Amino acid sequence: MPRARRTRLLRGLAARTLLYALMTLVALVSVLPFLWALTSSLRPHQEIFSSTTPFGLRTFVPAVSSLTLRAYAYIFGQDHFGRYMFNSAFVATATVVLGLLVNSMAGFGFGRFRFAGRGVLFGLVLVTFMVPFEIIVLPLYLVIRGLHWADTYQALIFPAVADAFSIFLIRQFVRELPAELIDAARVDGAGWWGIYWRITLPLVKPALITAGVLQFMRQWDAFFWPLVAVSSRELSVTQVALTRYITEYVTFWDRLLAAVIASSLPVVLLFLILQRYYIRGIATTGIR
C-alpha cells in the first residue's frame, strides 16, 4: 500500500475514533442524570444523597439490600399518580389527534393553494413562534372562562391544537409533492378532500409523525397553562402533580424522583418507537 494512502487511512481512522469517543462522552453526560434519578428513586429517602459524596460508582449503583419500591407504592397507591398520568396521556393524545387534522389541513392549504395574502397570512402564523406564552395567558383564560371551560379537559386540549411549527413542517412536505400527481388526481375526478385525505396525507407521513411526537411531548411537559386552567385535583396533569412533593419545609425526594421516572417513561418509549420517522422528518425539513 502506498505511503500516502496509508497516511490518509490512519488519519481517517483517528478522526473517526475521536468522533466516537466524543459522542460516547456526550451520551454518558446526557444519560447519567437520568440513571441517577432512576437508581435514587429505588433508595430510601434518607439514603439518596448519602452516596453522592464522594462521587463514584456507588452514586449510580446502590446496594441491592437497600433497594426498595416504597416510593412507587406510595405515589401509585396513596397519591393516585396513575390518575395524573392518565390525564396527561388523554390530553396529549386528544391534542395530537385534533392537531394533526387541523394543522395538516392548514399545511395542505398553504402548500398547495395560491391566493391573495397567502404570504402575509403564513407570516402571521410563523410570528406566533415568537410570542411568549406568558403574554397570552390572561386573554386565553378569559376566553376559556367565557366558554365555561375552566377546570375541564377542553381547557387543556383546545388551546394547544393549532400549532405553527406543525403547519410549517407539513407545508414544507406538501410543497415538494409533484404538481403532476395532483393534476392526475384532478383529471381522474378526485376532489380536493380526496386529494388531501387519500393522496397527500400518506405521502407526508414522516412530517405528520414528527409533528405529532413534538406536540405530544409539549403537552406532556406542559406546566404553566394546566396550572392556570385547572384547579381540581382530579384533572391535574403529571407536571403539576410533581410540585406537590416539594413543600416549604421538606422535599420528598424519593417520591419526586419516582414520579419523574414514571412520567418520563411514556415519552421515552414513544420517542424510541417513532425515532426513525422523527429524525427523517426533521432532517428532510432542514434540507428543504
Q: What would the pLDDT profile of 104-133 be if each residue is shown by its tens digit?
A: 999 999 998 888 889 999 999 988 878 888
pLDDT in tens, 229-246: 999 989 999 999 999 899
pLDDT in tens, 44-66: 888 888 877 777 777 888 888 88
Burial class (CB in 10 A: 0-12, 13-18, 19+), 90: middle
d(CA 82, CA 207) in angstroms, rounded, equals 31
What is the pLDDT averaged over residues 185-189? 84
Are the C-beta atoms of residues 102 and 162 closer than 8 Å to each other? yes
Return mean pLDDT, the chain: 88
d(CA 206, CA 209) in angstroms, rounded, equals 5
Burial class (CB in 10 A: 0-12, 13-18, 19+), 259: buried
d(CA 225, CA 216) in angstroms, rounded, equals 15
What is the pLDDT averaged over residues 259-266? 92
C-alpha cell at 267: 415519552
User: For residue 225, is pLDDT > 90?
Assistant: yes
pLDDT category at 284 given cuts 50, 70, 90 is: low
What is the pLDDT averaged over residues 187-214? 89
pLDDT at residue 285, as a whole number = 58
Helices within 113-252 (DSSP H only): 118-127, 133-146, 153-157, 164-176, 179-187, 192-194, 201-203, 205-221, 224-229, 238-242
User: For residue 210, is pLDDT > 50?
Assistant: yes
What percent of the chain clears pLDDT 70, i.e. is strictly above it? 97
d(CA 209, CA 270) in angstroms, rounded, equals 11
